[in-house]
Structure 1
């Protein structure tokens, strides 16, 4: 008999597992216990079985992965007879295949029977044209077939399991997108910092980390960013505060230059307000809705001393350039003029000009300024 008083605890675990995958083993254990079973698993696969994975309770993990997933998953008599076709269905193994057919199967005789995996209950959580997900619970013959009360409890749990699965999938998608976005920032040679409304750095791309580690003109302190002196630090704080939109005001972009103690060219900083994570209700100030650590400002820091390098292989592929033409393009983008390039390469100025003419022809540009503008729009290597 099902202890219906335990359903509240199971429901809590269902949603805990949606936001924290480390809670899923405990959920599987609770479901097995609730239905007087010693085995449960959460199984995900592609429709063509090209990819599949599972998490198990009640069996040795290596046994489950090596034996069931490694050998029997594609020869599962239950799923062959009644595959998952839609979310929201509950099936017993007796619904899927007769007892006589089960006993005659290789799966039963070589895997299930010796492990006491006989009577089963399957929760169909998701199915589309690509992916199928379910949770299965199995117990020994001695526990008997699943009774009406157990099936009623399963029907109570199923919609929550389906919703939990959707929540988990949405969170996974958000994490993947966020990870891809942060990885993309690392590919940009310009230093980029994401700041909260107090000016504290929530994230730094690879170029940003290098710049802050150098500590020349801009440093990261326990309370936020600081410039080389107190006057410039105050200007920086004001710019960030305005971009963050404090006291309910919309953020405004700003830009300043910061001098460098080492004497190099000044850093060029541009602060852009980031859109809010969600619209506030009309009566609620945005500052009260969002946590202090929410992203509010995108700070880009241009270091004129850092030369952007266009991979010459990309230029060759894009415009069918020769190595010499591609090399000339990267030197021009690095700030060199034709005479400096000719002197360094040992070529005559006329030879370099001829090379430039072929480069402009292949890139379909008519003036050197047009060529530079086009090249500067191509992504440089970090």
Structure 2
């Protein structure tokens, strides 16, 4: 058993995240294991990757909600051990036999593991877990010692990957600056991890960079914003556009929250969402295509929104578009939900770039 031969692979994976599954798989096979998992988490949100032989099982593990009650991370954190430990070290045999999560593991052929937890300066936790078939028995002590020898390299590789993720976030913010757009990158908890000068200029009148997360100064808009962050943390799909009411010295604005997905959202990616702010400073009602893009509306909803912005009644819109009043009302209800307003006059004011009568 020689896990030190994988040092170069660990640092390569830190730079090229697509390499992690191969490195994890090779290390697992070196110790007669049956797959490995690498995940980072903060609160309920998690990013992960696995060796190929364990991927299907881990997807099922997440899909069926086992991760929410998994006792391993809790015990690992409580142990606070600067090395690798086996589940047989901090669970009794009775606990392992009665725990439903371990029942799931065993039903899939695994059930023993050796793992370690690392903490990052950002507050996230990183877990490396190497699985072993239940039929093979507990992980031998010499395997634990082998992983302890390579643990410093796993820790440095993980921290290097996190640092690279931060630099990528800064690059995204600077790209938006080059396009003339106030923008930044939020982490999985909604904290601002990178921003450009144009976005910084909006603090604190429009945005407030607080320790727990970025906050919109408009409390109504911030409620919608907080819900959108929570949705993306829960692996929600698609972006969200949130209107901010005008105030003294500030025009009405639209905050666009866009998920960073695919390769850009690897296991060590610092950024989870891209934030772009678009001021609205006009007296004319925008056309339907612009409204559709601003608020993620369907074409039909955008037409209704524009008509409402022109102060037309539901009855007039129904006649003009050949629809029933019920259909128009349903579309208007969807528009108001997506724009975060509760009254037609608020929608008219929003589309005209005037202050919304929230108070």
Determine which structure has greater relative contact order: mean sequence separation of CA pairs < 8 Å that are 6+ residues apart, divided by chain length.
2
Which of these two proteins has the greater Rg computed from alpha carbons?
1
TM-score by length of 2: 0.48
TM-score by length of 1: 0.45
